Chain A
Amino acid sequence: MSSIIHLHNLRKVYRTGRVDVEALRGVNLEVPKGEFLSIVGPSGSGKSTLFHIVGGLTPPTGGEVFVAGENLAEIGDAGRTRLRRTHVSFVFQKFNLLPNITARDNIRTALFIAGLPLDTWSDEFRNVLELLGIAGRLDHKPSEMSGGEQQRVAIARALATHPEIILADEPTGNLDSKNSIAVLELLRDLNQRLGQTILMITHNPEAAMFGHRIVHMRDGEIVETSRGTPR
């Protein structure tokens, strides 16, 4: 199996009070290594739940979930923590940088948690920082940066540990159109340069077009798959 992500009959049921809510109803999906995949769908379609399961933030209720060779249905909380530390990185709509520390220390924190050297950054990563346009802004705290800069720091943090998969949840949701385009082009460039697999959730059809493939979800199921228009 050459897929880095393999989902078969994936189900997820949340209990809200006394009511069971079926967020995913038998999702099947194969994502080959190096693909930039966009996931679109209305609120409540299950795309965030899919994202959380693939990222190891929550366990599946049923079905098969293999991510980077790990069977998420079996590995438990510690295994999912290890997955997040070594195979998967997140880019969130709200950036989710630690507010008390500088951009550099946000990156170093991710490296520290992954057990990697904190300050011996590869030339490749330094080039990425240049490409992201934040090499000169690393000693600023998030509160001293614009939204676009914060999101680029979040992308740098996600790339610092060289994960095989980047999960981006509405990465342009809090950005203006100019910054949105810049971030999307960066993700596409990084996907092409570094070969990392990217799963991006978005509401925005134009943003979704940056992916190789677009998965459309509704009511906890994949209802359509279309091609994007990557450069």
Chain B
Amino acid sequence: MIQKLVWENVRFRPIRTLLSILLIAVPVTLILTLIGLSRGFLDDSMKRSSGVGADVLFRPPGSSLMTFSGAPLPEKLVELLAKEPHVTLATGVVNQPIGGFDTITGIETASFNRMSGGFRFSEGGPLARPDDILIDEYYAAQRKTKVGRKINVMNRDWNVVGIVEPGKLAHLFVDIHVLQDLTGSTAKLSQVYLKLDDPANTDAVVAELKQKFDSYPVYSMKELASFYSVDQIPLLKNFINVILGIGVVIGFAVVSLSMYMAVLQRTREIGILKSLGATKGFVMGLILAEAFALGLGGTIAGILLSFVTRWAMHVVAPASLPQAIVTTWWPIAGAVAMGAALLGALYPGMMAVRQDPIEALAYE
């Protein structure tokens, strides 16, 4: 019967119900979009790192996985590392941020191709001249460009000579020496990838390199994958917590206001229920059940809207903002919305419980 009363109440005022659900959906969508973007970005980065085909990554001292600024490693390290036991191939790259989430990557084409198996061109061909640039399909779609056109990156016009399948380290590739010159880091690298004779030797090689190059972070690609998680990035984690907090506040305020209005609108009905002998618990239960229904509706709408934001971002910026659908966060975002909705319903619920039945019945 409670379900029936709640259902008929939410159905009886469809505009109020719809608006409440949409407003509760906002923080759910916010949370899921943020988490989806973080996860999508990290998954995409991991996938592209794995696409290099290396077994070990060698990075500069004090470097962070999420930042690619500067190229402090000496280029001669590539030769040195290539001579290490079990290392069959070493290739160095330069990464340079170009704004937003984008970076441009300088590669030594021959060794990079040997390690990664080479680019698959959907259009055009490899780098040949200093002003040539390769872009992946996502970037081409995002910038609506194609082979033969010019794009301006780092205040320089580049000729798009090839569009490649995505998934190999970066979205934009240029010759490593050109990028080194442009960034004032001649003969310097951002990181070095190593290919081993047998992946089974990875741990031994990593241990050996860590011992030999004391202050240099050395990761197996498997280990690297575990770093690509939200928990490993303190700032992102804090940001998510802030968004969760905002979600609770918005959900609380929306439901509180909505239920406050509902209680006012339904003063007479509450009086009727009290005249029938409804207890305080029954009246409070009815208000909370309605808040629960609105919270549930808001959660479902929020989840659906997160698919819409993913679609929108894929259309607008497929190369920069990949958004994953993180189903494991649905219950968390739902709990935030439901918790906020129930909290928001408490005060209006108390109002309803305290209503004098005689005044409520006289309410017009």
Contact = CB atoms under 8 A, between A and B. Distances in A.
B277 A114 contact: yes
Interface in A19-68: 52, 55, 57-58
A84 interface: yes
A113 B278 contact: yes
Interface string A115-128: 00010000000000
A81 B282 CA distance: 11
A11 interface: no
A78 interface: yes
A113 B275 CA distance: 11
A96 B277 contact: no
A118 B5 CA distance: 14
Contacts of B4: 101, 105
Contacts of B272: 96-98
B230 to A, nearest CB: 44
Interface in B272-304: 272-280, 282
A218 interface: no
What is the interface residue range for chain A against chain B?
20 to 34
Contacts of B361: 57, 92, 96
A90 interface: yes
Nearest to A48: B358
B349 interface: no
A82 interface: yes
A89 B277 CA distance: 9
A57 B12 contact: no
A108 interface: yes
A99 B11 CA distance: 12
Interface string B346-362: 00000000001110010
A68 to B, nearest CB: 13
A26 to B, nearest CB: 21
Interface secondary structure of B, over-half rule = helix
A85 interface: yes
Interface in B306-364: 356-358, 361
A86 B279 CA distance: 12
A146 interface: no
A114 B273 CA distance: 11
A101 B361 CA distance: 18
A100 interface: yes
B277 A85 contact: yes
A105 B3 CA distance: 12
Given A99-B12, A108-B1, A90 B275 contact: yes
B211 to A, nearest CB: 75
B161 to A, nearest CB: 68
A110 interface: yes
A57 to B, nearest CB: 5
B229 interface: no
Contact of B275 (A57, A105, A112, A118): A57
Contacts of A114: 276-277
Nearest to A82: B277
A86 B276 CA distance: 9
A84 B5 contact: no
A105 B272 CA distance: 14
A105 B11 CA distance: 15
Given A57-B357, A57-B358, A108-B1, A100 B9 contact: yes
B198 interface: no
A100 B278 CA distance: 17
Contact of B11 (A58, A78, A86, A100): A100
A84 B358 contact: no
B165 interface: no
Contact of A85 (B1, B268, B271, B276): B276
B132 interface: no
Contacts of B1: 105, 108-109, 112, 118
A170 to B, nearest CB: 13
A86 B271 CA distance: 17
Interface in A179-202: none
B203 interface: no
Contacts of A100: 5, 8-9, 11-12, 269
Contacts of A85: 276-279
A69 to B, nearest CB: 16
A58 B8 contact: no
B274 A81 contact: yes
A109 B357 contact: no
A113 B278 CA distance: 6
A81 B277 contact: yes
Interface of B: 1, 4-5, 8-9, 11-12, 268-269, 271-280, 282, 356-358, 361
The 3 A-B residue pairs with the shortest CB-CB distance in the complex, in nearest-first order:
A85-B277, A84-B277, A112-B1
30 contacts: A52-B358, A57-B275, A57-B357, A58-B358, A78-B279, A81-B277, A81-B279, A81-B280, A84-B275, A85-B276, A85-B278, A85-B279, A89-B276, A96-B271, A96-B272, A96-B275, A96-B361, A98-B269, A99-B269, A100-B8, A100-B9, A100-B12, A100-B269, A101-B5, A109-B1, A109-B5, A109-B273, A110-B276, A113-B278, A118-B1
